[in-house]
Amino acid sequence: MDRRVAPRTVTKKARTQPAQSESPDKPPRARLLVDERRAQLLALGLSLFAERSYDEVSIDELARAAGVSKGLLYHYFPTKRDLYTAALRHAAQQLLDETQPPPELLPEDRARRGIETYLSFAERHGPAYVALMRGGLGADREIANILEETRSTIAQRILDALPISATPIVRAAVRGWIGFVEATALDWLAHKQVDRGRLVTLLTGLLVDVVGRAAITI
């Protein structure tokens, strides 16, 4: 008796798998990545907070301007203060990153390069810079600390590059000069009546003078 079993046939229906791909006529829903969305909200927050005071900007307005629901906005930033604080920290870090001059430059050249990049940042990121400077004027300690940390970092960079000892009076002079730079930059952004190159020369010369005078002060 022939015990061979005839091979089973597989129907075409069994071999065919259902199509998994989407219709080419229906593009996938456009979605921003998490980091991109967060960056968008930070930039928007800085822009609005620079134009008006913190209390004048509402969550409803922020959500409408971003084109998102309030629920999604709260997903990234639980409160308006969280968004405000994060936006200021973002602006402060950008400023520090962009104003770090090459270490191989001479002290005066480092100062000039730092001032050039500082004013360039203020000009390119006007709302972010204005919001950062104004953010430190309030009574909120955490927000004030953001600006203080930024100033301290810039001051320490200058002191580390000086060929003289960073005595208390030299340190005080450098901190005073930073305050002058901030006020000058805000006025420059508001009026744009002075060429940036002339402003760089002025601020560089003032730093050299103030440090020199502080160094010989008993």
CA R_g for the chain = 28
Q: 137 pLDDT exceeds 80?
A: no
Please write the tens of the pLDDT for every residue from 159-185: 998 888 899 999 999 999 999 999 999
Domains and CATH numbers, the chain: 34-85 (1.10.10.60), 87-216 (1.10.357.10)
Q: CA–CA separation, 185 vs 138, rounded Å?
A: 20
Residues ≥6 apart with Cβ < 8 Å to 53: none
Please write the tens of the pLDDT for every residue from 184-216: 999 999 998 999 999 999 999 999 999 999 988
Q: At what angle do helices 80-98 and 126-135 cross, to 10 degrees?
A: 110
For residue 33, name the pLDDT band (cuts at 50, 70, 90).
confident
Is the distance from CB of 111 to CB of 177 less than 8 angstroms?
no
Which residue, among 168, 150, 149, has the nearest Cα to 159 in the 3D structure?
Answer: 168
Is the distance from CB of 102 to CB of 114 less than 8 angstroms?
no
End-to-end Cα spacing for the chain: 120
In the structure encoding, which two tokens stand for residue 124, read together?
A: 């390119």
